[in-house]
Amino acid sequence: MTAADNGAASAPLSAAQPCVRIEGVTKRFGAFTAVDDVSLDIQEGEIFCLLGGSGCGKTTLLRMLAGFEQPSAGRILIDGQDMADVAPYERPVNMMFQSYALFPHMTVQDNVAFGLEQEKLPKAQIAQRVEAMLSLVRLDGMAQRKPHQLSGGQRQRVALARSLVKRPRLLLLDEPLGALDRKLREHTQFELLGLQKQLGVTFVVVTHDQEEAMTLANRIGVMDRGRIVQVGSPRDIYEYPSTRFVADFIGSVNLFEGRLTEDEADYVRVACPELPAPVLVDHGVSAAPEATVWVAIRPEKIQLLRERPAGTDNHAQGTVRDVAYMGDMSIYLVVLPGGRELRVTRANLQRKEEEAFESGDAVWLAWDAASPVVGTG
């Protein structure tokens, strides 16, 4: 019994029941554990991104949502209904495959209509919905073409149309932007966002590309070796990584190890052997005194100065080793006396840079107490 039966969106659920609930799901392939005790709630109407490197289990988790794999332990509930032993063709879930998986022997029209035909809808209604969907994804006039007569971007839109025309509760997307070139990728990202907002479908996206995740997601779940390491909004993940892995995985970061010298409720001080001055952080951290912690500072949060800054914390001195000019910003590699390299980025705010830093220049680095993140994990 699928929610798409009457063709209308299902009645709004109470906020208490999530669209998807994953409870303690584990998946083992022989001796190898691909997904390890994952629990997750996905809310209706949100775009949730599973982000991680290859082999982290994100695709396996996605396939379990689709019904192509069954969990070894735990359960998956969609709209409160347990999906154990529910076949893929009986779920209110549709998937957009990484390779698009368009049926090569059918026209665009037939491809998009296929899912509706399986629902045994009347022909006229099918034709109408297909036409409307093709318009929505801007493929009018392509209905009679076959997949091999379409470009990559067009094929993706057919795949999208084919899944969305069934008005699923949940749309799963497997690396949706991977096959597209850079310009097309940006364009498609916004198209996807627009479609999702318009149709209100819950998206679960799997990707290894953090840029993709950051652009698309309302919430991101970072995965590593089968486990969910952190769940949060893109901002949370980026600015407040809960573990070293997450800090390192997202964006670039300068990571240090240090010893907790002062631990108060509203600030901590960390002594890092690689830095000349202690790091003062404006939030507390739960750790034992004198514990070993990691400190992460994002490159854009570090300032480049000609003169020594005031204060006893949060600074370092070094030499510029390399400058990479990226157009909108520049990346500086600064070497500290101990040999440690720091990465600093700075936006090129003015066209004529009077005081540009060049390779070989001596430089002071400084950051404020709100910038570093400290953690124990």
Partner 1 sequence: MSRSRRSVLVPSVMAFGFAFLYVPILAMIGYSFNNSRLVTVWDSANSPTLKWYSALWRNQQVLDAAWLSFRIALLNATGAAILGTLAGLVLARFGRFRGRTLLTALTTAPLVMPEVITGLSLLLLFVAMEQTIGWPAGRGVTTLTIAHITFSLSYVAVIVQSRLAGFDVSLEEAAMDLGARPVTVFLRITLPLIAPAIVSGWLLAFTLSWDDLVISQFVAGPGSSTLPMVIFSKVRLGVTPDINALATLMVLTVAVGVVIATVLLRRQERRREQDLRLAAGAD
Partner 2 sequence: MAARGLRLGRLLVIGVPMGWLLLFFLAPFLIDFKISLSEVRLAIPPYAPLLEWADGKLVALHLQLTNYRYLFTDSLYVSAYGYSLKVAAISTLLCLLLGYPMALGIARAEPARRNLLLMLVILPFWTSFLLRVYAWMGLLRNNGLINNLLLWAGVIDAPIQMMQTDFAVYLGIVYSYLPFMILPLYTNLEKHDGTLLEAAADLGAKPLAAFLRVTLPLSVPGILAGALLVFIPVVGEYVIPTLLGRPDQLMIGRVLSDEFFANRDWPVASAVAMLMLVLLVAPIVAFQRVQSNAAEAR
The region of 7-15, 45-53, 97-105, 340-348 touching partner 1 under the rule CB under 8 A is 97-105
Strand order in the sheet with 329-335: 303-305, 362-366, 315-325, 329-335, 341-347
- The residue from 95, 161, 220, 280 that contacts partner 1 (CB under 8 A) is 95
* Cα separation of the two ends of the chain: 44
Q: Which residues contact 123 (CB under 8 A, 6 or more apart)?
A: none
Provide the H-helix boundaries in 82-169. 108-118, 123-136, 152-164
CB of 92 to partner 1, least distance (A): 10
Least Å distance between CB 53 and partner 1? 22
> Which CB sits closer to partner 2, 90 or 282?
90
- Is residue 7 close enough to count as binding partner 1 by CB under 8 A? no
Number of H helices, E strands in the chain: 8, 20
Alpha-carbon gap, residue 140 to 120, rounded angstroms: 24
- Closest contact distance (angstroms) between CB of 85 and partner 2 is 7
Where does this chain touch partner 1 (CB under 8 A) — which range of 21-29, 60-68, 280-288, 338-346? 60-68
Pick between residue 87 and residue 288 the one whose CB is nearest to partner 2. 87
166 binds, among partner 1, partner 2, none (CB under 5 to 8 A by kind): partner 1
SS3 content of the chain, % helix, strand, coil (to 5): 25, 30, 45
Distance CA 228, CA 118 (A): 35
CB of 64 to partner 1, least distance (A): 13
* Contacts to partner 2 by CB under 8 A: 85, 87, 90
Which does residue 32 touch among partner 2, partner 1, none (CB within 5 to 8 A, set by kind)?
none
Segments in the chain forming alpha helices (H): 58-66, 108-118, 123-136, 152-164, 182-199, 210-216, 234-239, 244-249
Least CB distance to partner 1 at residue 114 (A): 6
Single-letter amino acid, residue 55? G
Using the contact rule CB under 8 A, the part of the chain among 25-33, 63-71, 219-227, 279-287 near partner 1 is 63-71
Could you tell me the smallest distance in angstroms from the CB atom of residue 93 to partner 2?
A: 17
The one-letter amino acid code at 34 reads A
Contact between 190 and partner 1 (CB under 8 A)? no
**Interacting partner of 85 out of partner 1, partner 2, none (Cβ under 5 to 8 A depending on kind):** partner 2
Instruction: Quote the radius of gyration of the chain (alpha carbons, Å).
Output: 25
Report the C-alpha gap between 103 and 238 in whole angstroms. 40
| Amino acid letter for position 137 | V
Name the pairing type of β-strands 227-232 and 219-224: antiparallel
Pick between residue 85 and residue 358 the one whose CB is nearest to partner 2. Answer: 85
Q: What would the two tokens of residue 232 be?
A: 């949060």
- Options 148, 183, 351, 352; binder of partner 1; rule CB under 8 A: 148
- The interface partner of residue 152, options being partner 2, partner 1, none and the CB cut-off 5 to 8 Å by kind, is partner 1
Distance set, CA 289 to CA 14, 145, 260, 294 (Å): 45, 68, 6, 14
In the block, tokens 């209509």 appear at 113
33 touches, from partner 1, partner 2, none (C-beta below 5 to 8 Å by class): none
Which option in partner 1, partner 2, none does residue 149 bind, with CB closer than 5 to 8 A by kind?
partner 1
119 is an interface residue for partner 1 by CB under 8 A: yes
Residue 351 interacting with partner 1 (CB under 8 A): no
Among residues 65, 66, 72, 68, which one has the least CA distance to residue 34?
Answer: 72
- Per CB under 8 A, the list member of 1, 105, 182, 264 interacting with partner 1 is 105
Stretch that binds partner 1, among 62-70, 217-225, 254-262, 310-318 (CB under 8 A): 62-70
| Residues contributing to the site for partner 1 (CB under 8 A) | 2, 66-68, 87-90, 93-95, 97-99, 101, 103-105, 114-115, 118-119, 146, 148-154, 162-163, 166, 184
